[in-house]
Amino acid sequence: MKKYFLIGLLLSVMLVFGCKTTQSTSSKSVSKPVAPKNSVSVYVLVDRGIKANMNAFIKSQYNSVGLWMENNLVETLEKTGYKPYLIQNRKAYKHGPGKYLLKVIITNFGGGTPGVRIGWRYRGGGVETLDTRYELFGKSSKPFLAKTHGTSSSRGWRRCAKKLNEDTVLAVTERLNKIK
């Protein structure tokens, strides 16, 4: 009995300390993106990617992700120094000096099953994935910045959405800083 207790204790210690990863802050230099110095307005349009053949449950998931994602994207743009405006259709955007349209399309959302994450035997079963495409428009009807990207997390879809929003704002900022 004592032998099994020691083996269990050893496995628990290995699980807790062996799986923990640490990153040195000095080896990872992350700079916060800063918006161009001139006043820049970004009109945000989020296409939730809902298709006619999706069932009601999947549509509600896409709507939940889209609603949270658009609000977080506006907040992230604000913190970076932009003047963001959330719009519901493209016609609400009127191009002009210092005005850009950022269109984000949810191309894929795979909501994992939270209960599966509890069982260690089902690794990857509870992972949620989110893929988006962003397009940045200026005067032209063609985007001058476009990229499709995605991420996954076993800690929930909000982490995925936040990461993609941060990456999008970083790319937009880098591109706009090259223009100014």
What is the model's pTM?
0.76
Q: What is the pLDDT of residue 123?
A: 53
Q: What is the pLDDT of residue 84?
A: 95
Domains of the chain by range and CATH? 38-179 (3.40.50.10610)
**Residue 163 burial class via C-beta count within 10 angstroms: exposed 0-12, middle 13-18, buried 19 and up:** middle
Token pair 């069932």 is at which residue? 55
Angle (nearest 5°) at CA 22 between 148 and 5: 120
Q: List per-residue pLDDT tens for the chain, 180 residues long.
A: 777 666 766 556 555 554 433 333 333 444 667 767 667 999 999 999 999 999 999 999 999 999 999 999 999 999 999 999 999 999 999 999 999 999 999 999 987 665 554 554 455 556 889 999 999 999 989 999 999 999 998 888 899 999 999 999 999 999 999 886
Q: What is the pLDDT of residue 179?
A: 83
> Residues near 66 by Cβ (< 8 Å), separated by ≥ 6?
46, 48, 49, 106
Q: What is the pLDDT of residue 125?
A: 59
Q: What is the CA radius of gyration of the chain?
A: 21
Print burial letters for 6-27: b (CB count within 10 Å at least 16), e (below 16): eeeeeeeeeeeeeeeeeeeeee
Phi, psi of 41 (to 5 degrees): -105, 135
Token pair 């994207």 is at which residue? 73
Q: What is the pLDDT of residue 102?
A: 97
Angle between helices 157-179 and 56-80 (to 10 degrees): 40
Q: What is the pLDDT of residue 115?
A: 55
137, 134, 126: which is closest to 166 by C-alpha? Answer: 134
